[in-house]
Amino acid sequence: MSKMHLKLTVNGKAEELMVEPRELLIHVLREKLNITGPHIGCETSHCGACTVDMNGKSVKSCTVFAAQANGADVTTIEGLSPHGEMNVLQNAFREHHGLQCGFCTPGMITRAHRLLQENPTPTEEEVRFGMAGNLCRCTGYQNIVKSVLAAASELNAAKEAAE
Partner 1 sequence: MIPSAFEYHRPADVKSAVGILHEQGDEARVLAGGHSLIPMMKLRMAAVTHLVDLQDIAELKIIKVAGGKVTIGAMVTQHSLINDPGLAAAAPLLREAALQIADPQVRYCGTIGGNVANGDPANDMPGLMQCLDATLTLAGPDGTRDVKARDFYEAAYVTACEDDEILVSVSFDAPKGGYAYEKQKRKIGDYATAACAALIEMDGGKCRAASISMTNLSDTPIWSKAAGAALVGTACGAENIANAVAAALADIDPTEDNRGPVAFKMHVAGIVIKRAITRAIACA
The CB-of-47 to partner 1 minimum distance in angstroms stands at 10
Q: Taking the mean position of all CA atoms in its chain, how far away is CA 80?
A: 9
| Binding residues for partner 1 (CB under 8 A) | 1-2, 4, 20-24, 27, 43-46, 48, 51, 57-60, 63-65, 67-68, 70, 111, 115, 129-133
CB nearer to partner 1: pick between 9 and 68: 68
The CB-of-60 to partner 1 minimum distance in angstroms stands at 5
The CB-of-84 to partner 1 minimum distance in angstroms stands at 27
Q: 160: buried, middle or exposed (CB in 10 Å: 19+, 13-18, 0-12)? A: exposed
Full strand arrangement of the beta sheet holding 73-75: 13-19, 4-10, 73-75, 51-54, 57-60
CB nearer to partner 1: pick between 1 and 162: 1
CB nearer to partner 1: pick between 17 and 91: 17
CB nearer to partner 1: pick between 110 and 143: 110
Number of residues in the chain: 163
The CB-of-122 to partner 1 minimum distance in angstroms stands at 12
CB nearer to partner 1: pick between 95 and 138: 138
The CB-of-21 to partner 1 minimum distance in angstroms stands at 4
